[in-house]
Amino acid sequence: MQYWLLKSEPHTFSIDDLLTKPNQIDAWEGVRNYTARNFMRDKMQVKDLAFFYHSSCEIPGVVGIVEIVRAAYPDPTQFEKKSKYYDEKSTILNPRWITVDVKFKEKFKEILPLSRLKESIKLKDFVLLKKGNRLSVMPVKDMEWNAIMGLL
DNA sequence: GCCAACGTTGGC
DNA sequence: GCCAACGTTGGC
């Protein structure tokens, strides 16, 4: 069992958007970075838990928790010509990008802002806080997960 | 909107 | 396989 952090821009897909989906489940589509993809493809498993993180917005931070309910499968948006995630080099037989299904678990009463994570000494080595980090899917150590939960 | 940091592309 | 140019991310 592995913990994760998943970034999303709330104006594209927010935790409230997830709440509107059937069974509160949706595909985590549009990951187009190889490192992030490899984490999802090779390490992410059903029952893993992930923080839902809002980025590129007024107050970036952790807003809740989701559970992985379906492991890696080809991301359908790579085949959709009209999608901004379309990839002409992907084929059905040889898809380049994958997605997983996530299910809503919990929304925090208030956002846990990035600024508060930065204040935690326990999180000084957390990948999210590393200078220049741009990964949209990253593993979270047990200790880091617990430290973040402890800030709520 | 700025810009630092990083990833990707493509010419050689 | 190198690396310059370009594109993207994401906090501020």
pLDDT tier at A26 (50, 70, 90 boundaries)? Answer: very high
Distance between CA atoms of residues A21 and A4, nearest Å:
21
pLDDT given for residue A82 in this prediction: 86
Interatomic distance A86 CA / B5 C1' (Å):
26
Give CA A28 to chain center in angstroms: 7
| Nucleotide with smallest C1' distance to residue A34 CA | B7
pLDDT digits (tens, 9 = 90+) for A69-96: 999 999 999 999 888 899 988 988 889 9
pTM for the model stands at 0.95
Give CA A133 to chain center in angstroms: 14
Residue A151: other Cβ atoms inside 10 A: 14
Q: Phi and psi at residue A79, in whole multiples of 5°? A: -100, -5
pLDDT given for residue A14 in this prediction: 97
Question: Percentage of residues in chain A with pLDDT exceeding 70?
Answer: 100
Nucleotides of strand B lying closer than 7 angstroms to a protein CB: 4-8
pLDDT digits (tens, 9 = 90+) for A124-144: 999 999 988 899 999 999 999
| Nucleotide with smallest C1' distance to residue A36 CA | B7
The answer to whether A7 and A31 are in contact (CB under 8 A) is: no
**The residue count for chain A:** 152
Average pLDDT over residues A6-14: 96
Interatomic distance A127 CA / B6 C1' (Å):
14
Asked whether the predicted pLDDT for residue A40 surpasses 90, the reply is: yes
pLDDT given for residue A88 in this prediction: 87
The answer to whether A60 and A54 are in contact (CB under 8 A) is: yes
| Nucleotide with smallest C1' distance to residue A134 CA | C9
pLDDT given for residue A106 in this prediction: 98
